[in-house]
DNA sequence: CTGAAAGCGCTTACAG
DNA sequence: CTGAAAGCGCTTACAG
């Protein structure tokens, strides 16, 4: 019990195909063929051997197979988003899709430290993973992965993808457009935009979606987008600022660049007696549930489909590994509006 | 370029030790010895061979080595906390500590679905990982892992650990105690407790820590602990309830069972004009930064040391794998108070 | 239909 | 000091 028994990992001699062959009175090659459903042989022999394998609890050593097949059925996931909210959904989507296909994924946390990246890539190469998915936290930043040195297929998720490479990002512009179009359909006319720092690619795209939806509805643009930190604090300030004017000059809807901003902003409005959604409708971006559901009222927001992003990236990587032709370039996967209560119900009349 | 080149994973023939031996004009066994610093040989030969290996970009195939060493230098991380906040820090701590030692970790997301667990455990066995860390979201729930069937060392993190097994959990009681002791040291006398659902093990332990700190300070227990959801909503309600009485009967400090509750509670106090920390000091539990830093004022809270938990679990698992004796049972790792601004500054006089 | 042989890439006693 | 041989656990042509 306890100490000793727990540590005896070497003690457990696992059943090998040799054991199976011996027990069945056949050669190892025959056993292999029987178990892999290859070649022709009497159904009876095949089933007998399979039965014995089952009885002995035989499970083929994946590394031995990998050695001969030159295919390990493993992937590496490199991510620099160690604490953020992106990696987990992406990793979950990826790993679930891969698990169904017998491929396992190594998690490599890199901290934007090129040395650490090198070390992890090296380890992944040593372990002979079949491919790499590189996942980031900004769609406009490329991770410090020295591609030329990587001898295997790579796919990027939620990160910039170098020329000629393959990547997956959420369709930020489309998501923003659908959010604003939703506000328009509810009859809102003065739709403001409060968002993150100018430097972010996502900020530009979301702003573009906002402007496009406005122009499609022939609505004037309500002031310039307010740009600041991705924080509740900035949302709070912005909320106060947007209601500083007298009522006629206030927006009747605000599209926020992320859920944290939206939350801070709603707090500011509520504290000043402005009602959400009656006076001002608010939409966020991210569908980070812990925020979106805790705002009062619960937040309508744009879901980036991160899980699906991870899934698609994995499936594409498998295609690449199988040598199937895959077009280079970045794909934008659709976002989906998640309607809660911060915009009120559907408008009685949309035009 | 593009499609075709990206998919040609088979095209890259990696350098093998045979190539190195050939280029150096020695046998494969000699090459192996030179590269592994084993056996005796002229320094000159050794360095020559190593130089050639370097030049050819030789990296030994980890699977081939694993096959002969019966050790894969890989681990599996099973977790049912796919979206929560526990897994990521634990995984980061684990994977960082392991990366330094050349061991990689497979991420397996299981959804409390026993079938999915079985599938993942099976895959990990097929891949011949050296051990498993099983990580959960409740210290009082055992994950549906059928241990008898697992032929390798296992360590539990942030989950109940079956009799005879090895586990790591945060010291919830100690953490709670240090939080309340902090309040006491600031001169607070009427310290209430608002926490999660009764069913949770952590709830009982944190309550115990609260009571012990009070009794050590000869302070009366300020009402019974308020128990409800782990949500901002419940925190909000509780905040309103605790200040419903006239001022003399209100608490002067509130220790919350998690950061979400603390945040909702602070919102309620603030909205009612009660000042935090002047009138009532508040402490949370989790140090979930996204919450703790966004509360106004920023939240003093208990950090559970999840990263360290993951690290320790990994190191212990390695010991187990190496056959070193490890005592069975559950270890409680210390929590650490993270002081921000929701309690005010140190008291001018502590007694 | 079945099995001996060679091989995946490496390491480790064991002879020379 | 160096190399041939056997082996880790499996698969795949290739003969019988």
Contact (CB<8Å) A119/B128: no
Q: Strand C: which positions are within 7 A of a protein CB?
A: 1-5, 7-14
Q: What is the pLDDT of residues B188-239, one digit of tens each?
A: 999 999 999 999 999 999 999 999 999 999 999 888 999 999 999 999 999 9
Alpha carbon of A2: minimum distance to chain B alpha carbons (Å): 5
CB contacts under 8 A, B 73-132 vs A, are 74, 77, 82-83, 87-89, 91-92, 95-96, 99, 102, 104-109, 116, 119-120, 122-128, 130-131
Indicate whether A37 pLDDT > 80.
no
Count of A–B CB contacts within 8 Å? 193
**Which residue among B60, B92, B166 sits closest to A109, beta carbon to beta carbon?**
B92
For the segment B320-336, what is each residue's pLDDT rounded down to a tens digit? 999 999 999 999 999 99
CB-based contact A132:A152 (threshold 8 Å) = yes
CB contact under 8 A, A3 and B326: yes
Q: What is the distance between the alpha carbons of residues B250 and B241, in angstroms, rounded to a whole number?
A: 10
* Other residues' Cβ atoms within 10 Å of the Cβ of residue B256: 33
Instruction: Categorize the per-residue pLDDT at A350 as very low, low, confident or very high, splitting at 50, 70 and 90.
Output: very low
Search chain B and give the residue with CA nearest A291.
Answer: B291
pLDDT above 70 (res A5): no
Between CA B168 and CA B182 the distance in angstroms is 25
Q: SS3 of B104, please?
A: strand
CB atoms A95 and B107 under 8 Å: yes
In what helix (H) or strand (E) does residue B252 lie, and over which residues does it extend?
Answer: none
Assign A347 a pLDDT band (cuts: 50, 70, 90). Answer: very low
Report pLDDT digits (tens) over A22-31.
Answer: 999 999 999 9
From the list B9, B264, B320, which residue is nearest A152 (CB)? B9
Task: Check A294 against B70: CB less than 8 A apart.
Answer: no
- Strand D nucleotides within a 7 Å radius of protein CB atoms: 1-5, 7-14
**pLDDT tens-digit map of A199-227:** 999 999 999 999 999 999 999 988 899 99
Q: What confidence tens digit (pLDDT) does each residue in A299-335 have?
A: 999 999 999 999 999 999 999 999 999 999 999 999 9
Backbone angles phi, psi at A281, to 5 degrees: -90, 145
The answer to whether B36 CB sits below 7 Å from nucleic acid chain C is yes
Residue A306 to chain B, least CA–CA distance (Å): 12
Q: Which residues of B touch A106 (CB under 8 A)?
A: 74, 104-107
Q: What are the C-alpha distances in Å from B344 to residues A24, B45, B275, B281, B339?
A: 76, 68, 11, 7, 9
Say which nucleotide is closest to residue B30, CA to C1' distance.
D2
pLDDT at A125: 95
Which residues does B65 contact at the CB level (< 8 Å), separation at least 6? none
State the pLDDT at residue A233.
93
pTM above 0.75?
Answer: yes
Nearest-Cα distance to chain B for A110, in Å, is 9
Is the Cβ–Cβ distance between A290 and B231 less than 8 Å?
no
* DSSP β-bridge partners for residue A133: A77, A155
Cross-chain residue pair A6–B92, CB shorter than 8 Å: no
If you average pLDDT over residues A66-83, what whole number do you get? 91
Would you state the pLDDT for residue A348? 37
Q: Which residues of B touch A328 (CB under 8 A)?
A: 1-3, 6
HEC sequence for chain A:
CHHHHHHCCCCCCCCCHHHHHHHHCCCHHHHHHHHHCCCCCCHHHHHHHHHHHHHHCCCCCHHHHHHHHCCCCEEEEEECCCCCCCHHHHHHHHHHHHHCCCCEEEEEECCCCHHHHHHHHHHHHHCCCCEEEEECCCCCCCCCCCHHHCCCCEEEECCCCCCCCEEEEECHHHHHHHHHHHHHHCCCCCEEEEECCCCCHHHHHHHHHHHHHHHHCCCCCCCCCEECCCCHHHHHHHHHHHCCCCHHHCCCEEEECCHHHHHHHHHHHHHCCCCCCCCCEEEEEECCHHHHCCCCCCCEEEECCHHHHHHHHHHHHHHHHCCCCCCCEEEEECCEEECCCCCCCCCCCCC
Q: Does nucleic acid strand D have an atom less than 7 angstroms from the CB of B40?
A: yes
Output the pLDDT for position A201. Answer: 96
Asked whether strand D has any atom less than 7 Å from the CB of A67, the reply is: yes
Q: Do B106 and A74 touch (CB under 8 A)?
A: yes
Nearest residue (Cα to C1') for D5? B29
Name the residue among A20, A56, A13 with its Cα closest to residue A36: A20
How far, in Å, CA of B295 to CA of A246, rounded? 29
The mean pLDDT value for A41-53 works out to 90
Query: Which residues is A282 bridged to in the sheet?
Result: A254
pLDDT tens figures, A162-186 = 999 999 999 999 999 999 999 999 9
Residues of B in contact with A128 (CB under 8 A): 61-63
Report whether B135 contacts B307 (CB < 8 A).
Answer: no
Residues A310 and B107: their CA atoms lie apart, in Å, by 14
- CA of residue B17 to C1' of nucleotide C7, angstroms: 15
Query: What mean pLDDT is reported for chain A?
Result: 90
Q: Which two tokens stand for residue B349?
A: 């006089």
For the record, the structure tokens of A194 come out as: 């409060």
Closest of B114, B171, B98, B9 to residue B317, by C-alpha: B98
Which residue ranges in chain B fall short of pLDDT 50? 1-11, 347-351
Interchain contact B319–A (C-beta under 8 A)? yes
- Put simply, the answer to whether B153 touches A89 (Cβ < 8 Å) is no
Residues of A in contact with B102 (CB under 8 A): 123
> What are the tokens at B210?
């609260």
Tell me which chain B residues have a C-beta less than 8 angstroms from the C-beta of A152. 9, 12
- What is the C-alpha to C-alpha distance for residues B307 and B90, in angstroms, rounded to an integer? 5
Distance of CA A117 to the CA centre of its chain: 20
Half-sphere exposure of B78 (CA within 13 A, CB side): 31
Q: Report the pLDDT value the prediction gives residue A148, as an integer from 0 to 100.
A: 66
Give me the CA A17–C1' D3 separation in Å, rounded.
31
CA distance A145 to chain B (A): 16
- Strand C closer than 7 Å to the CB of B61? yes
- By C1' distance from the Cα of A61, the closest nucleotide is D9
With contact defined as beta carbons under 8 Å apart, do A78 and A108 qualify?
yes
Residue B157 CB: number of other CB atoms within 10 A?
Answer: 32
Q: How many residues does chain B have?
A: 351
Distance from C-alpha of B251 to C-alpha of B273, rounded to nearest angstrom: 15
Contact residues, chain A, for B61 at CB < 8 Å = 67, 126, 128
Q: Which residue is nearest to nucleotide D8 (CA to C1')?
A: B68
Q: How does residue A13 score in pLDDT terms, banded at 50, 70 and 90?
A: confident
Instruction: Locate B84 and state its tokens.
Output: 């929560």
Q: Locate B281 and state its tokens.
A: 């000091």
Distance CA A266, CA A268 (A): 5
Q: Residue A275's pLDDT is what?
A: 95
Q: What is the pLDDT of residue B12?
A: 64
Nucleotide at minimal C1' distance from the B67 CA: D8
Which of B7, B12, B120 minimises the CB distance to A326? B7
Is any atom of nucleic acid chain D found less than 7 Å from the CB of residue B42?
yes
Q: Which residue has the higher pLDDT, A247 or B68?
A: B68
In the numeric block, the tokens 């997956």 are attached to: A168
């Amino acid at each position: 019990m306890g100490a000793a028994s727990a540590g005896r990992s070497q003690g457990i001699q696992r059943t090998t195909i040799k054991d199976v062959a011996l027990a069945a009175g056949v050669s190892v090659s025959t056993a292999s063929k029987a178990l892999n459903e290859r070649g022709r042989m009497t159904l009876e022999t095949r089933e007998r051997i399979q039965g014995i394998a089952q009885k002995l609890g035989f499970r083929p050593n994946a590394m031995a197979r990998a050695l001969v097949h030159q295919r390990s059925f493993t992937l590496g996931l490199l991510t620099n988003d160690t604490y953020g909210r992106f990696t987990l959904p992406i990793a979950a989507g990826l790993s679930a899709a891969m698990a169904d296909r017998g491929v396992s994924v190594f998690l490599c946390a890199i901290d934007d430290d090129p040395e650490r990246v090198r070390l992890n890539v090296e380890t992944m190469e040593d372990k002979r993973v079949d491919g790499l998915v590189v996942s980031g936290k900004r769609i406009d930043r490329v991770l410090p992965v020295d591609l030329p040195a990587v001898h295997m297929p790579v796919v990027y998720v939620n990160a910039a993808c170098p020329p000629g490479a393959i990547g997956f990002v959420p369709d930020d512009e489309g998501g923003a457009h659908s959010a604003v179009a939703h506000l328009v359909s509810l009859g809102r006319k003065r739709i403001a935009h409060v968002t993150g720092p100018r430097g972010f690619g996502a900020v530009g795209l979301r702003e573009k979606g906002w402007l496009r939806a406005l122009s499609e509805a022939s609505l004037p643009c309500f002031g310039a987008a307010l740009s600041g930190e991705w924080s509740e604090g900035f949302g709070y300030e912005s909320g106060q600022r947007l209601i500083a004017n007298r009522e006629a000059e206030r927006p009747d809807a605000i599209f926020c660049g992320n859920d944290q901003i939206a939350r801070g902003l709603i707090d500011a409005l509520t504290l000043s007696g402005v009602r959400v959604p009656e006076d001002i409708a608010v939409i966020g971006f991210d569908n980070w549930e812990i925020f979106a559901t805790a705002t009062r009222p619960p937040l309508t927001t744009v879901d980036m489909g991160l899980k699906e992003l991870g899934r698609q990236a994995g499936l594409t990587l498998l295609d690449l590994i199988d040598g199937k032709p895959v077009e280079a370039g970045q794909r934008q996967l659709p976002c989906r509006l998640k309607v809660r209560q911060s915009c009120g119900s559907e408008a009685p009349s949309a035009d």
